[in-house]
């Protein structure tokens, strides 16, 4: 039996190289693995957990689908769909809410961080990991490829699955997080002590965004914060986090082993050479994506077709599990 893969990304703000390296790039690789059946979702309901401008959200959802295609996700190889087009997610989240202790949600690191930054904390923000658990569990998912920051949420989905199975009998597969070896946590280029984040993607110097032009990419990387030393090696020392982050980006995009990455810089004349090399590989990877994106994004009929096809296939997979869960929980199903 094939292993089912499910992952998602929010259409909030713009996608940056952290999202690309930690998640989307790996999804593209998984497509050609005959052992895997892949489902990738644009999680627009998750985006609503913080206030959104409705028109901007609609536009970004379509742009993200075009970006999926531009990076190489293929709707004939992977199931691509928009979360809100399949009602199982919201309905499933409600059912899972009713087996999830609220204490589990209040402990989530991301909730604690994000809620501190909001004046009014919406209930959806607290409940966000339960919706994510519904995404994963109603598709009988085995593996969830995500960046390091989502690991805790996948673990919560495992706990919810186990609790449900314990209360109502074997129902859900208990999914595994699949975290990349290189690049699972890309740090901000302006502040390598904090993760690169979509909410800061418009702050000058923080992130390379997927559709930035080569000049902008070069400017951002050349300005990246490093330290006053000159040694170019991977390091866990917080003082060297900037250099470590640049090497991690270089490694993830070139696919080279650690010793080969370090060997590339043994004759470097300082961090300037490192930054130039990183800018070159990032530009080389991003240029074809930007070109393809500009061709795809205007074909709204094709984007609509892909969304419809994806939603139909997604319903066919998830609806039977929803019926099963409702029956087990004591809800009446009419014939």
Is residue 19 a contact residue for ligand TYM (CB under 6 A)? Answer: yes
Our answer to whether residue 114 is catalytic in this structure is: yes
203 — phi, psi (to 5°)?
-75, 130
Compute the half-sphere exposure of residue 34: CA atoms within 13 Å on the CB side of its CA.
0
Identify residues 167-186 at the interface with ligand TYM (CB under 6 A). 184-186
Listed ranges 8-16, 72-80, 114-122, 209-217: which one lies at the site for ligand TYM (CB under 6 A):
8-16
Is residue 8 a contact residue for ligand TYM (CB under 6 A)? Answer: yes
From the CB of 40, what's the least distance to ligand TYM, in Å? 9
Provide the 3-class DSSP secondary structure of residue 5: strand
- Per annotation, catalytic residue among 114, 151, 313, 328: 114
Tell me the residue number closest to ligand TYM, measured at CB.
Answer: 22
The answer to whether 114 touches 73, Cβ cutoff 8 Å, is: no
Is residue 10 a contact residue for ligand TYM (CB under 6 A)? Answer: yes
Tell me which of 37, 44, 127, 135 binds ligand TYM, using CB under 6 A: 135
Q: At what angle do helices 109-116 and 151-168 cross, to 10 degrees?
A: 120
Is residue 80 a contact residue for ligand TYM (CB under 6 A)? Answer: no
Is residue 149 a contact residue for ligand TYM (CB under 6 A)? Answer: yes
Q: How far is CA 181 from CA 5, 38, 147, 200, in A?
A: 18, 20, 10, 25
Our answer to whether residue 107 is catalytic in this structure is: no
- Per annotation, catalytic residue among 36, 77, 151, 195: 195
83-115: buried (b, 16+ CB within 10 Å) or exposed (e) per residue? bbbbebbebbbebbbebbeeeebeebeebeebe
Is residue 22 a contact residue for ligand TYM (CB under 6 A)? Answer: yes
- The radius of gyration of the chain from alpha carbons, rounded to an integer in Å, stands at 21
From the CB of 8, what's the least distance to ligand TYM, in Å? 3
Tell me which of 71, 136, 156, 314 binds ligand TYM, using CB under 6 A: 136
The answer to whether 321 touches 138, Cβ cutoff 8 Å, is: yes
Is residue 146 a contact residue for ligand TYM (CB under 6 A)? Answer: yes
The answer to whether 89 touches 138, Cβ cutoff 8 Å, is: yes
CA distance 245 to 134: 33
CA distance 264 to 242: 18
Listed ranges 63-71, 118-126, 144-152, 278-286: which one lies at the site for ligand TYM (CB under 6 A):
144-152
Is residue 161 a contact residue for ligand TYM (CB under 6 A)? Answer: no
- Closest to ligand TYM by CB, 8 or 242: 8
CA distance 22 to 241: 17
Is residue 18 a contact residue for ligand TYM (CB under 6 A)? Answer: yes
Our answer to whether residue 236 is catalytic in this structure is: no
Residues that bind ligand TYM (CB under 6 A): 6-10, 18-19, 21-23, 43, 46, 132, 135-136, 144, 146-147, 149-150, 153, 184-186, 195-196
Catalytic residues: 114, 195, 198
């Amino acid at each position: 039996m094939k292993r089912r893969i499910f992952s998602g990304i929010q259409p909030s703000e713009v996608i940056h190289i952290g999202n690309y390296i930690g998640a989307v790039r790996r999804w593209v690789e998984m497509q050609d693995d005959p052992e895997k059946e892949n489902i990738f979702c644009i999680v627009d309901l998750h985006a609503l957990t913080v206030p959104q401008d409705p028109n901007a959200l609609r536009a970004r959802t379509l742009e993200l689908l075009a970006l999926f295609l531009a990076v190489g996700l293929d709707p004939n190889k992977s199931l691509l769909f928009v979360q809100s087009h399949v009602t199982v997610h919201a309905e499933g989240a409600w059912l899972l809410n009713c087996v999830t202790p609220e204490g589990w949600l209040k402990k989530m690191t991301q909730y604690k961080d994000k809620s501190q930054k909001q004046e009014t904390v919406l209930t959806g923000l607290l409940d966000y990991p339960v919706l994510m658990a519904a995404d994963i569990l109603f598709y009988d998912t085995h593996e969830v490829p995500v960046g390091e920051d989502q690991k805790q949420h996948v673990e919560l989905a495992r706990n919810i699955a186990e609790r449900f199975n314990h209360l109502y009998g074997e129902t859900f597969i208990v999914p595994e997080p699949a975290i990349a070896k290189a690049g699972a946590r890309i740090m901000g280029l302006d502040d390598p002590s904090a993760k690169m984040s979509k909410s800061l993607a418009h702050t000058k110097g923080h992130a390379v965004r997927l559709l930035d032009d080569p000049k902008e990419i070069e400017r951002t990387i050349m300005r990246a914060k490093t330290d006053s030393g000159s040694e170019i090696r991977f390091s866990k020392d917080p003082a060297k986090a900037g250099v470590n982050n640049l090497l991690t980006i270089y490694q993830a995009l070139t696919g080279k082993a650690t010793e080969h990455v370090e060997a590339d810089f043994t004759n470097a004349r300082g961090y300037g050479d490192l930054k130039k090399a990183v800018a070159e590989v990032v530009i080389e990877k991003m240029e074809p994506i930007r070109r393809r994106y500009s061709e795809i994004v205007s074909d709204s009929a094709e984007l609509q077709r892909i969304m419809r096809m994806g939603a139909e296939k997604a319903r066919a997979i998830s609806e039977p599990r929803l019926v099963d869960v409702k029956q087990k929980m004591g809800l009446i199903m009419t014939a």
